[in-house]
Chains A and B, each alone.
Chain A
Amino acid sequence: GQNIDQPTEMTATEGAIVQINCTYQTSGFNGLFWYQQHAGEAPTFLSYNVLDGLEEKGRFSSFLSRSKGYSYLLLKELQMKDSASYLCAVRDTGGFKTIFGAGTRLFVKA
């Protein structure tokens, strides 16, 4: 079956670093995406990984291990505005269908 697992909620302190993990089991793999979604709003794209390793983009980094079916999103220098849900999503081999995890709600406290 197709399955993506993420922690339901996490809490971190402003200025700190947080790592949000994602494990996946899918029939095909054509890349892994991370999206940020504030409550009641549209998801917005954060990062894409298709090869093993770390992709860095400012305060956000994403890591992928295809052999382990594992990814993480690393957020540095946390700000209050980073309080949101973070969705892990895997695109299938055909390139059109994307499977989404339930999302991790991150609370950043002062």
Chain B
Amino acid sequence: DGGITQSPKYLFRKEGQNVTLSCEQNLNHDAMYWYRQDPGQGLRLIYYSQIVNDFQKGDIAEGYSVSREKKESFPLTVTSAQKNPTAFYLCASSPQGTGHQPQHFGDGTRLSIL
């Protein structure tokens, strides 16, 4: 079955540590996204990528970095510069250039501070 796989499901970060969240999709989608979800708030866009080797900052990119070396993979690194990283992180993908197609989401990674 095609889908999006995020790992790990739960992640703990120590002060000053960088951590990387994995996102892999086998849907052959061109576009991939990272969102952050906090209690009582909507999904906020961190980064998105329309094609391999290209990505753009979303609304809350500070303290995060991404790479898109392969079509299937879009890892997110939460750096030590992100002072409030505790949140639920969702990765999504969609076909390129088809506005009516919904985004498909992974099951999320819950990040907490130790």
Interface residues in chain A, defined as those with a beta carbon under 8 Å from any beta carbon in chain B: 4, 8, 30-31, 33, 35, 40-45, 48, 50, 87, 89, 91, 95-103
Contact = CB atoms under 8 A, between A and B. Distances in A.
Contacts of B73: none
Interface in B95-114: 97-100, 102-108, 110
A27 B90 CA distance: 24
A48 B108 CA distance: 23
B99 A50 contact: yes
A78 B40 CA distance: 23
Contacts of A50: 99-100
Given A42-B90, A102-B41, A95 B106 contact: no
Interface in B10-58: 31, 35, 40-45, 48, 50, 58
B105 A42 contact: yes
Contacts of A40: 88, 108, 110
Nearest to A6: B42
Contacts, number: 55
B108 A95 contact: no
Given A35-B102, A42-B108, A96-B50, 9 more contacts: A31-B100, A33-B102, A40-B88, A41-B107, A95-B98, A95-B99, A97-B48, A97-B58, A101-B42
Contacts of B108: 40-42
B43 A87 contact: yes
B43 to A, nearest CB: 4
A10 to B, nearest CB: 15
Interface in B67-88: 88
Contacts of B48: 96-97
Contacts of A31: 99-100
A48 B99 CA distance: 10
Contacts of B106: 42
A35 B50 CA distance: 22
